[in-house]
Chains A and B, each alone.
Chain A
């Protein structure tokens, strides 16, 4: 059975994980209410998508 010869140091773990990065979502402006929203989704603020109201949003 092949087994690790040496301890996997914290440094090596850190170096491997150094390439894990978050990417910012590519937000777009809603054409109806001008809020930032996710592309290809109905606007969660006004419920519009593709120039018409898809869902009605209850104002809290």
Chain B
């Protein structure tokens, strides 16, 4: 029977599990959006939401309590100064989990965890495109512009030559 068996062991010892949770919760607060397996996501959500709930008290005791899990001082500061103010109207549901697809290799179902109000994502592709496109466009324009100028003067020169030839011919005709 699995009655009241609440702990998902994740094939790890107690200390290994605690370390995993600490690392994952810290990562979630640091990056606001992380990809992991659905099983880990469900385990980590519980601890992460608990940490936010404690942090909402805002007291020194709360800070010390959270610091036992979130061991990175920068992330701890971010949690209290940035993340918790964003969650002030919420009592729960700080984290959303969206199922993705089976992972190549071991077919474990992946999921994405996201903090409530996480900054909108700029697509890596678009960022790359923008980064690549911007200099390219400028370069292309620069390249194209001189070419056009070069071509135009040539054409102009050609047309000028043609007109000049015509004029010469006309003059020649006149002379005849």
Contacts and interface: CB of A to CB of B under 8 A. Distances in A.
The interface size bin for chain B is 10 to 19
B121 A42 contact: no
B101 interface: yes
A59 B98 CA distance: 21
Shortest 8 CB-CB distances between A and B: which pairs? A41-B99, A56-B123, A44-B101, A54-B98, A42-B100, A49-B98, A42-B98, A56-B124
25 contacts: A38-B101, A40-B99, A41-B98, A41-B99, A41-B101, A42-B98, A42-B99, A42-B100, A42-B101, A42-B112, A44-B100, A44-B101, A50-B98, A53-B121, A53-B123, A54-B98, A54-B100, A54-B114, A55-B35, A55-B100, A56-B121, A56-B124, A56-B125, A58-B124, A58-B125
Contacts of B100: 41-42, 44, 54-55
